[in-house]
């Protein structure tokens, strides 16, 4: 067990960001990784030109990297936004315009996990109305994901860094997962279990794993405090990942941490353990 027993992928929206997007897959490959994930790379548009999508597909393929996770359009992220599904008006419209684009792109590169960030509470909007809108949009996203053989991920963020985001506990995200699955009957909505965000919320990580491993579709990690690489903080990440594995989780673990020099930040993981198995 331990780190060498996991299937890791590199989040190219937080690591290697000193490079242009299309150079990041090759950088991850040069560091020994064969699996990567991305936030929605075009923060200004839910519907980028086909040439841009094709160029990203080519960059992934040329590097020999498999995209294993992709966010739907999520507004200005990085930035003030935390998704669009519950945000009334233009943002919800943008999310809907993005659903088929993101699903088709995922299908074209064999990506099996699509993450829909819930979106912030909006001043003056009724939370119940926002939640109703979110469910409508998530049902559409779940159906689109299902058509391309993918799961829909629902993520808990952390309150200190995302004070307007309503899903800041594991149970709050699980509730949405269950509602979406209840509405679609597809069972492909899953929990994105991010150990950093849950730790920042003060949750009992072992308890969350014990309760929700079976509903987990993807895992992300960073150490706390600081959101750095494993070993830079206080979290027993190796033990927690072992616990997840023992609880039956077989999926990928996304490296979603900050590092001034990404290539130099992987010392905690032996080079021979970096290629996805």
**Crossing angle for the helix pair 90-109 and 50-63, to the nearest 10 degrees:** 40
**Catalytic one of 37, 91, 203, 256:** 256
Average pLDDT over residues 188-216: 98
Examine the residue annotation and report whether 159 is marked as an active-site residue of this protein: no
Q: Is the pLDDT of residue 1 over 80?
A: no
- Reading the block at residue 24, the tokens are 């990041």
**Catalytic one of 52, 155, 175, 210:** 155
Q: Is the pLDDT of residue 262 over 80?
A: yes
Average pLDDT over residues 59-77: 98
What pLDDT does residue 277 have? 85
pLDDT in tens, 228-245: 999 999 999 999 999 999
Backbone φ, ψ for residue 158 (5° rounding): -120, 140
**Residues above pLDDT 90, as percent of the chain:** 99
Q: Is the pLDDT of residue 263 over 90?
A: yes
Q: Is the pLDDT of residue 2 over 90?
A: no
pTM for the structure as a whole: 0.98
Average pLDDT value over all residues in the chain: 98
Q: Is the pLDDT of residue 150 over 90?
A: yes
What residues pair up with 98 in beta bridges, in sequence order?
Answer: none
What pLDDT does residue 26 have? 98
* Number of neighbours of residue 160 by Cβ within 10 angstroms: 11
């Amino acid at each position: 067990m331990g780190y060498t027993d996991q299937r890791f992928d590199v989040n190219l929206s937080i690591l290697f960001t000193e490079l242009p997007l299309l150079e990041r897959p090759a950088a991850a490959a040069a560091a020994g990784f064969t699996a990567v994930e991305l936030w929605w790379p075009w923060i200004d548009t839910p519907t980028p030109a086909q040439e841009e999508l094709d160029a990203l597909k080519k960059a992934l393929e040329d590097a020999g990297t498999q995209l294993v996770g992709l966010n739907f359009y999520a507004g200005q992220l990085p930035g003030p936004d935390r998704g669009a599904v519950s945000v009334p008006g233009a943002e919800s419209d943008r999310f809907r315009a993005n659903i088929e684009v993101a699903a088709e792109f995922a299908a074209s590169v064999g990506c099996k996990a699509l993450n829909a960030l819930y979106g912030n509470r909006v001043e003056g909007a009724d939370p119940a109305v926002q939640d109703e809108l979110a469910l409508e949009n998530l049902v559409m996203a779940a159906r689109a994901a299902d058509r391309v053989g993918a799961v829909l991920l629902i993520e808990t963020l952390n309150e200190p860094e995302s004070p307007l985001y309503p899903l800041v506990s594991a149970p709050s995200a699980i509730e949405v997962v269950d509602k979406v699955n209840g509405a679609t009957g597809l069972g492909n909505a899953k929990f994105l279990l991010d150990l950093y965000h849950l730790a920042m919320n003060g949750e009992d990580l072992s308890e969350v794993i014990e309760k929700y491993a079976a509903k987990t579709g993807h895992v992300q990690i960073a150490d706390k405090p600081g959101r750095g690489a494993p070993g830079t903080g206080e979290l027993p990440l190796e033990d927690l990942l072992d616990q997840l594995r023992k609880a039956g989780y077989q999926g990928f673990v996304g490296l979603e941490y900050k590092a001034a020099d990404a290539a130099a930040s992987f010392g905690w993981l032996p080079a021979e353990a970096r290629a996805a198995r």
